[in-house]
Amino acid sequence: MTLALRATNLNRRFGETKALDEVYFEIPKGQVVSLVGPSGCGKSTLLRTLLWLDPPDEGFVEVGGHYLGRELRGETVRRQSRREIDAIRPMIGMVYQQLNLWPHMTVAENVNRPQIVAGGRSPAAARERTCRLLDRLRIAELGDRYPGQISGGQKQRVAIARALAMEPEIMLFDEPTAALDPELIGEVLQLLRDFADTGMTMLVVTHELTFARDVAARMMFMDKGRIIADGPPSRVVSSRENPRVADFFDRVSPFHPSFAARPPISGEST
């Protein structure tokens, strides 16, 4: 099994609050994982920690077999330099809730720029990859427009193109449907399903249980900074082993029949 991402004993504190509490998991290459849980449980903090944008107080992140931010050599822990971190970070692609597109750059420039600055590609190579990605995401006609001139769903696709342009080992999505109108949620869901069908490795933070059901082979449930349940979505939702998990899903009981009725998707154990 080839691992795309490993988190080992991640801890993150903000004053007296423990945002991440001994987080451990491994994601094999090609697996799609949904990360669910109540608001404020640490899901977005975890994504930022995995990217080393919000470094953990303890623990390790490994991307494609490479340590990111802090590495273990024998029994010695070494903090990587900023240059080392910047060289490895593009192995993780991230699509933020706020999308964070540069408003003063066109769609094409938003996708080109990281490839040149962070990826070291030539402008010509960056433009070629940008054209391919915009075409793949069906927004090729938007290349000369600015973010303020396109819809929310189109901005989401631009943000995805920008992340994919770096050819990451794994894609992280932080609530990809949160800022969208209801009619656009299905469009983004289908897009991520298409990515899953191609074998892309993804970790998706979401409050949409149908989204988690339809895209993911695996669900991790987070509460108070810890991963307290991990397995096939149908098993996590129906489990009575952990009272906190059971109580959470009892509050959204209309979703239970749809989880029970869904056959396992590729890669989901039963």
Residue 212 belongs to a domain: yes
Residue 270 belongs to a domain: no
SS3 letters for 2-16? CEEEEEEEEEEEECC
Confidence at 254, pLDDT banded by 50, 70, 90: low
How large a percentage of the chain has pLDDT more than 90? 58
Cα gap 195→199, rounded to integer Å: 7
Joined tokens for residue 184: 């656009």
Summarize pLDDT for 67-106 with one digit per residue, the tens.
Answer: 999 998 888 999 999 999 999 998 999 998 778 899 999 9
Between 210 and 122, residue with greater pLDDT: 122
For the chain, the domain total comes to 1
User: Residue 197 above 90 pLDDT?
Assistant: no
Confidence at 258, pLDDT banded by 50, 70, 90: very low
pTM of the model: 0.86
Domain coverage including residue 228: 3-261
How large a percentage of the chain has pLDDT more than 70? 92
Kindly report the average pLDDT of the chain as a whole number. Answer: 87
Task: Please name the residues in contact with 101: beta carbons below 8 A apart, sequence gap of 6 or more.
Answer: 110, 147, 155, 158, 159, 162
Q: Please, is 98 exposed, middle or buried when counting C-beta atoms within 10 Å of its C-beta (0-12, 13-18, 19+)?
A: exposed
Residue 192 belongs to a domain: yes
> Which CATH number belongs to the domain containing residue 181 in this structure?
3.40.50.300
Summarize pLDDT for 3-23 with one digit per residue, the tens.
Answer: 999 999 999 999 989 999 999
- How high is the pLDDT of residue 22? 96
Residue 126 Cα distances to 7, 46, 96, 140, angstroms:
31, 30, 22, 15
Residue 137 belongs to a domain: yes
Residue 129 belongs to a domain: yes
- How high is the pLDDT of residue 267? 46
Residue 79 belongs to a domain: yes
Q: Are 8 and 60 in contact (CB under 8 A)?
A: yes
- How high is the pLDDT of residue 177? 75
User: Residue 32 above 90 pLDDT?
Assistant: yes
**Ramachandran region of residue 64, left (φ > 0), alpha (ψ -120 to 50) or beta?**
left
- How high is the pLDDT of residue 253? 56
Summarize pLDDT for 146-190 with one digit per residue, the tens.
Answer: 999 998 888 888 999 999 999 898 999 998 877 677 777 777 778
- How high is the pLDDT of residue 265? 42
Residue 269 belongs to a domain: no
Residue 267 belongs to a domain: no
Summarize pLDDT for 224-245 with one digit per residue, the tens.
Answer: 999 999 999 988 988 888 999 9
The mean pLDDT value for 34-49 works out to 93
Joined tokens for residue 256: 């239970």
Cα gap 208→43, rounded to integer Å: 14
**For residue 31, which phi and psi values (nearest 5 degrees)?**
-90, 145
Cα gap 199→64, rounded to integer Å: 15
- How high is the pLDDT of residue 98? 78
The DSSP symbol for 79 reads E
